[in-house]
Amino acid sequence: MWGPSPILGIWAAVSVACSLDRYRHDVSDSGAGLREILGVRGFRLLLGARLSGQLGDGLLQASLATFVLFSPEREPTATKVAVAFAILLLPYSLIGPFVGVFLDRWRRRTVLVWANLLRGLLVVGLAAVVASGRDDAVLAIAVLIVLGVNRFILAALSAGLPHVVVGRFLVTGNAIAPTAGTVASVIGGLGGIAIRKAVGGGDSGSVVVLACAIATYVVASAVASRLRPDQLGPDDHTATGRDTMRGVVSGMVAGMRHLAARRPAARAIGLVMVHRVIFGIAVALSVLQVRGALHPDDPEAAIYALTLATAAAGLGAFLGAFATPRASRRFGAVRWSAVVLVVGVTIGAVGAASATLPGLLVVGLFVGFAGQAVKVCSDTIVQEDVDDDRRGRIFALYDVAVNVAIVTGLTAAAFAAPSDGRTPFVASWIIVLGAIGALWALRAEHRDPACNYATDPSAIPGQR
């Protein structure tokens, strides 16, 4: 029986790669835009809250990395990987759209302050579970609750960003924030591993790392508290009532109708979903290959190989965030997204088909590059295309869509991939999906073009 322990282990091993799912876009031509946006106090505080929180996320991941992923008695299969992500991602998907309504009713700065404190309190409970030595369903549920609060915070950060930066600098902010957050998460993960080893390892070492994570969440709350109470919106302060279930449901439905009416935003989310299906397939193949094909008898070497692949994905995401601003202004956000999706995933598919360590590094680098470039462009379009009083629930829906797409990719791989991940046939799906997604986006953009905020420096939120 493949219980929660390996499920949590799989999540811990690839969660840094999953953090690439978290948002955005742009840097200015000369670097002046970077200097200017960092001079905005509101942006610095919002970035500080993100960095502190994601540093804690990395520490949390490191503390859970001790659970079994590559042990000989629990060989992972694609089906097991898919089940792991379904358990970790889909429960939030059921409540995310409802929770997003509150981001359009409550002050988002207040949400960031109290949700980070709640996250720290929940990790206190998680630390108690770890200290007790339990690795059963109780631990899995504790992790699920913490993850749910994490996603709520990330949606609030995205919905609030257009209130501290405007126009072309919104694209810059969308590039800096998620990339820096991913780096902070990686630093937290590496630091957590080092801390755990320094204090002697074992369950007690994991508890120490969790204690460090709690401290970072408290810092994130303190940083967010320095923002003005109404600085992150929502602008409509009259929409705070009717927090009954009926009001929440009607608010969610209104958000879905709003998204359906804003076709450029809906297409942008759809294109990200295409990439995340590809990402799910790539994750499944990578985990299976390092354990079943490259290092079947050496779990430590398998973990090291997966760490290198994850690092390559992080590097790809950084390069994607760096290159996208100028390229999107030159070619247009949708065209640039389509190009990098086709080129990136095609090269990544070739690497996946090789079932070698260099091939896995290629997968991580190019799929990571394509994912960040597409997400950066899409996030900016969504932020600008939807009304502020709908933005919180739209980003909650966006997050749900991403979760479902990842699980879909993993599940698809589960039906076709062998236990060692050697499957050129499944790898070829990546190319086909990328080409279909890019062609669909280009054709739709030609028929119904979006206002190209990535290339129009005069576009300012609220003036459409």
If 0-12 CB within 10 Å is exposed, 13-18 middle and 19+ buried, where does residue 458 land? Answer: exposed
pLDDT score recorded for residue 249:
72
In a structure prediction context, what are the per-residue pLDDT tens digits for the chain, which is 464 residues long?
A: 334 444 444 434 444 444 434 433 333 333 446 677 888 899 999 999 999 999 998 888 777 754 434 334 445 566 666 666 676 667 667 766 666 677 777 888 999 999 999 999 999 998 898 888 766 667 777 777 887 788 788 878 888 888 888 766 776 777 788 778 877 887 887 788 788 878 877 778 888 999 999 999 999 999 999 999 989 888 765 554 455 556 667 777 887 888 888 889 999 999 999 999 999 999 888 888 887 788 777 766 776 787 788 788 888 988 998 888 888 888 888 999 999 999 999 999 999 998 899 999 999 999 999 999 999 899 889 888 888 778 877 887 888 888 889 889 988 887 788 878 888 888 889 999 999 999 999 998 888 776 554 444 333 333 22
| Residues 57, 212 contacting (CB under 8 angstroms) | no
Distance between CA 259 and CA 363 in Å, rounded? 32
Instruction: State the pLDDT at residue 299.
Output: 64
- pTM of the prediction? 0.71
Write the single-letter amino acid at 171: V
Backbone angles phi, psi at 237, to 5 degrees: -80, -5
Please report the DSSP string for 142-171 in residue order: HHHHHHHHHHHHHHHHHHHGGGT--THHHH
Q: b/e for 224-245, b at 16 or more Cβ within 10 A?
A: bbebeeebbbbeeeeeeeeeee
User: What domains can you pick out in the chain, each with its CATH number?
Assistant: 4-447 (1.20.1250.20)
| Tokens matching residue 114 | 């109290």
| ∠ Cα 396 397 402 (to 5°) | 100
Chain-centroid distance of CA 115 in Å reads 18
Phi then psi for 162, rounded to 5 degrees? -65, -10
pLDDT score, position 17: 40
Tokens encoding 48: 């500080």
Distance of CA 36 to the CA centre of its chain: 26
Separation of alpha carbons 382 and 378, rounded Å: 6
Q: Residue 230 and residue 251: Cα distance in Å, rounded?
A: 21
Residue 64: both structure tokens together: 């859970």
The predicted pLDDT at position 16 comes to 40
**Residue 121 backbone dihedrals phi, psi, to 5 degrees:** -65, -40
User: Which pLDDT does position 247 carry in this prediction?
Assistant: 65
Give the model's pLDDT for residue 272.
Answer: 95
